[in-house]
Amino acid sequence: MSESRRRRSPKMFMVASDYKVQDHLEGTIRLQRGQLCQQQEGGAHRSGRGDYLWVKVIDNGCVVKVDRQVLSEVPAEFAGLLEPVPDLDVRVKLLSRTQFLQRMAGLALGSEVRVIWSRSQSELAEAELRYRGPLTRGSSAVYFGVQLRGWAAGRGKCNGSYKGHQLFSCPDGCGLFLPVSEITLPRSSRGSSSSDHQSNGQSPVSILSRAAESGPNPGVPQPLGVGQRVCFIQDECVQRGSVLFCGPLSNRTPSTLYVGVLLDHPGGSWDGYYKSIKLCSIPSPEFGALLPLSKVTAESRSERSPLAVTSPKLPPLPVPNKPALQPPSPSKDPPNRLLIQPSMLLTARQALQPPSSSAPKAALKPPALTTPKPALQPPAAPPNKPQAPPPDQSRSSNGFHNLPSPPIAEQRAEFGTWLEVGSMVEVNDPPLFGVIRWIGQINNIPEPVAGIELDQELSAATDGSYLGERHFHCPANKGLFVKLRNCRRDSRFPEPELPINQVDRCNSIAFANWSSKRVEEHTPPLSGADARLTYEGFKKGIQGHLNSCYLDASLFSMFSCCSSFDWLLFWPVGAQNNPISQSAQDLLRCEIVNPLRRYGYVCASKTMALRKLLKEETADSGFTNEEKDPEELLNQLFLLLQVEPLLKIRSVSQKAQECFIYQLFPPAVSPSSPVLSPLVSPGLLRVSSVQALLESSFMHSGLKLTEAPSCLPLLMPRFGKEFKMFDAILPSLSLDITDLLDETLRQCSICQSVAQWECLQCYEDVDITPGQLKQYCNTCNTQVHTHKKRQTHRPVEVRGPRGCWEGPVHGARQLMDLFAVTCIETSHYVSFVKHGPGATDWLFFDSMADREGGENGFNVPQVRSCPEVGRYLSLSVDEVSRLDASSLRDPVRRLLCDAYMCLYHCPQLSLYK
């Protein structure tokens, strides 16, 4: 095939002067001086008035026909550098600085640069070049990723990630992505070796993908890309892993590069930090190693076999046979050669395709043709064509490529796990790159076959047909058919990140920047203005991680502003108790509760440690990674701490039962039921209060409290998201449990004498004070049930203290105060906490209010004041039922409509407890 048939990269131009174009649809289109344009295929047009080109304006995407005279051709290696520069005048000036652009295009990663911090004050910031390339998939704009040093450290905007993609690793707030116009070189290096980069107007271009690094320098090992597979000798054994960092170290010689490796097997001793500076994320020091670049060798495809680290003594590592990984020889590789040709920029622009690993596999030998058609045979490949294999290693027949080397066993088992139509793959060695366009079966071939569209033309390829049958469409001489098992991932891009175990990741190393301190001294809860000052803001409260909101909201409700649950922290732990119980109590007291009250923040790694203890004790792995409910946490936590139950309840069978939390079970109600707000009409909300629900639940179940509890956790009735018995539940600020206590003096509902009878049927009677407990003395009981409507009632005798009691009862009521409410919406728990005596003293807490980073990022907890909640809690049930549901806004709507658990306490009894 002649050179004229080879596809060329489109030419790039810059508009040399302002220009107007008349378009039939858009009208007048103005092109400004400095805008970049890309010539379209077949876009040249010559007329009597001059030469015209059809071009696409990169800055706005429009396609116009422009006079060739107003366009200045831009070298393809400079176009990507100039594209992200926003100021058009600066673009024009940069284009004239050819030597500077050449140096920036070939600048090695790890080089020292200066960031133009303030042009008006000529202020420069020290930085290190860590990445060069596009920020998004398919983009051709080349940005420079730098790590700020010196006084500018911490004033950046990222940690080396862009929209969830980790392009390089650096501490938070130290990374920046900048165009070439915002970067300059130190004075010591601006004039050095300038002549090395000048040769016929060309420069060492290094505009590569995310997997690509900088170009090789003579005599210096080429830096390794992040994600690249490497190996090295350790204790006479081979260690293998993936590169997470490659560059110089502070206070070390800049010319000496170091490699941070994430090992496949334990055997390292590096945590990803160097002199308190985080270079990369290592889940455990056993899987990290930091080595000089000279001691690390990039894996060749032939070396990627499943060798164990504990193998016996191995021979020396073979020298990799990839030319790109060898230090170039000055005599063979002159410093001014192009690292990539302009025709390869289209490949480099696909930088952010899913990364993948590679391994050698043989292509497929086609079956013999019974009736070969000479007209369909592709022409022989020219001997100097770089992408064609040597004649003695390949032969062609209708797009099939025959290779002698068989695939290794590891990839035989792996090929079906990731290959699909659209996968970027390579075959052969030296490799041919392409994209899978078709997967299927072909006659006489027992294995699945892949149809690949190659990046470059090959004389042995077709247009997507095989033996006269078309399987996909592609340009001529680009279609290749191989066995599916002989395809391997495109080695030009980094391997995919292995799925990270988020449970193991939640440790003090990965969460170092989010850590919280241990506090041994008992710290009382905060209240009033002190609570707001300590808790309010982002990164406050308990940090959420991996479905932990049920635990975060529950613990914040229990301990942030109330001491009623503090007895859990000091419950005596005897020698007979489980050591896990002692660890859990110490963890809860010193790592969670005390730091929360002292500093207002607890790291997710602390709560994950508690979740692991719960998992170990209960054998329920869901505590570390699955969604749970607060009642599951409280029940298992109390059992783990081996404490006494909170509640003691007598049932109808007169037998006392113990529990930690009570679930409200109201009966099936009608619109006239006293549990609902009175006179419910279609235009009103169905509302009930916690007081009414508790009384109804106890009355219909025949339950009584054998003693007054210090804390009363109540679960609200819920029937899933689709159906709710109540549109809203009003948390009662004060809960009266006097008439729910067993063997106590109770007042007659009519004459206030000692009550001796109570009646469930009267409780449901709307004619006599509906929604209140009905209990009578002997006289009032006889009078009430003499009425013909109530003759069928069956009153029950009340259990009271022994002795003779006559006359009115003037005893104090047993009240409990509301101090926290946990709510749920779409499986996410939040909490409301009362932090002071005032009606408006309420805080709202969300452990996952915001997020930094992508899948491997961090949740940001938040606590904020919500005084508006107090105004709604002071309303009556009838007033709440008349509210317009659409007028309720967060957080009030969540409190009234999504209440899940209400926490009540009696401060006097809690102190005694």
Q: Which two tokens stand for residue 145?
A: 């990723």
Same domain, 358 and 448: yes
Q: 87, 71 in Cβ contact below 8 A? A: no
Same domain, 321 and 442: no
141 within some domain? no
φ, ψ for residue 465, nearest 5 deg: -115, 155
* C-alpha distances in Å from residue 253, one per residue of 110, 113, 246, 250: 12, 16, 14, 8
Q: Domain check: are 296 and 361 in the same one?
A: no
Tell me: do 358 and 320 sit in the same domain.
Answer: no
CB 480 within 8 A of CB 434: yes
Q: CB under 8 Å to 148, separation ≥6 — which residues?
A: 115, 125, 126, 127, 154, 155, 156, 174, 175, 176
The answer to whether 549 is a known catalytic residue is yes
- Give pLDDT, residue 320: 39
Q: Give one DSSP letter per residue of 529-590, joined into a string.
A: HHHHHHH-EES-EE---SS-HHHHHHHHHHHSS--TTGGGGG----TTS-HHHHHHHHIIII
With respect to residue 793, please indicate whether it lies within any of the assigned structural domains. Answer: yes
Choose among 316, 317, 253, 259: nearest CA to 289.
259
Nearest Cα to Cα of residue 686 among 695, 677, 673, 674? 677
Residue 256 within any structural domain of the chain: yes
Amino acid 574: pLDDT: 59
Residue 347, exposed/middle/buried by CB under 10 A (0-12, 13-18, 19+)?
A: middle
Tell whether 358 and 321 lie within a shared domain.
Answer: no
**Cβ–Cβ under 8 Å, residues 863 and 855:** no
Tell me: do 484 and 406 sit in the same domain: yes
Asked if residue 822 is part of any domain, the answer here is no
pLDDT value at residue 394: 37
Determine, yes or no, domain membership for 199: no
Instruction: Report CA torsion sign: 13, 19, 20, 26.
Output: positive
What pLDDT is recorded for position 565? 93
Residue where a domain stops, chosen among 464, 489, 514: 489
What span, in angstroms and rounded, lies between the C-alpha atoms of 75 and 96? 12
The answer to whether the CB of 135 falls within 8 A of the CB of 141 is yes
Q: How many CB atoms lie within 10 A of CB 235?
A: 9
Beta strands in 68-170 (DSSP E): 71-74, 112-118, 123-133, 143-148, 161-162, 165-166
Residue 300 DSSP symbol: P
Residues 750 and 796 in one domain: yes
The answer to whether 349 touches 140, Cβ cutoff 8 Å, is yes
Give the Cβ contact number of residue 692 at 10 Å: 23
Average pLDDT for runs of 10 along the chain of length 913: 54 89 72 88 62 84 84 88 91 89 88 83 84 85 90 86 86 90 78 39 32 37 73 79 85 77 86 84 85 79 42 40 38 37 40 40 41 40 39 40 36 54 87 92 87 89 87 91 89 73 84 92 93 94 95 96 92 71 92 96 95 87 89 92 89 80 73 47 78 86 87 84 76 90 78 78 69 76 81 79 61 86 92 94 95 87 94 91 83 91 86 55
Task: Tell me how far apart the alpha carbons of residues 817 and 676 are, in angstroms, rounded to a whole number.
Answer: 22
Q: DSSP string spanning 762-814?
A: HHT-TTSSTTS--EE-HHHHHHHTTSGGGTT---EEPP--SS---SB--PPP-
Residue ending a domain, choose from 74, 95, 130: 74
| 299 and 401 co-located in one domain | no
User: Of 640, 703, 635, 701, whose CA–CA distance to 667 is shortest?
Assistant: 701
Q: How far apart are CA 362 and CA 107, in angstroms?
A: 37
Give the whole-angstrom CA distance, residue 554 versus residue 633: 8
pLDDT for 406? 35
Are 904 and 712 contacting, i.e. CB atoms less than 8 angstroms apart?
A: yes
Which of 768, 795, 813 marks a domain boundary?
813
Whether residue 288 sits in one domain with residue 415: no
- Choice among 265, 700, 793, 828 that is catalytic: 828
- Domain co-membership, 321 together with 233: yes
Q: Are 688 and 730 in contact (CB under 8 A)?
A: yes
Domain that holds residue 253: 229-326
Provide the terminal-to-terminal Cα distance of the chain, rounded to the nearest Å. 92
Question: Does 59 reside within a domain?
Answer: yes
The CA-atom distances, in angstroms, between 54 and each of 5, 44, 626 are 21, 6, 57
Assess whether 401 and 278 both reside in one domain: no
241: CATH: 2.30.30.190
Q: What is the pLDDT of residue 814?
A: 85
Name the maximum alpha-carbon separation found in the chain: 124
Set 549, 561, 823, 866: catalytic member: 549
Question: Nearest to residue 688, comparing CAs of 699, 702, 678?
Answer: 678
The question of whether 473 is a catalytic residue gets the answer: no
Q: Is residue 349 part of a domain?
A: no
The domain total for the chain is 4
Asked whether residue 358 falls in the same domain as residue 465, the answer is: yes
List the CATH number of the domain containing 33.
Answer: 2.30.30.40
DSSP 692-720: HHHHHHHHHHT-EESS--SEEEEEPP-BT
Exposed e or buried b per residue across 21-34, where buried means at least 16 C-beta atoms within 10 angstroms of its C-beta: beeeeeeeeebeeb
Q: Assess if residue 17 is contained within a domain.
A: yes
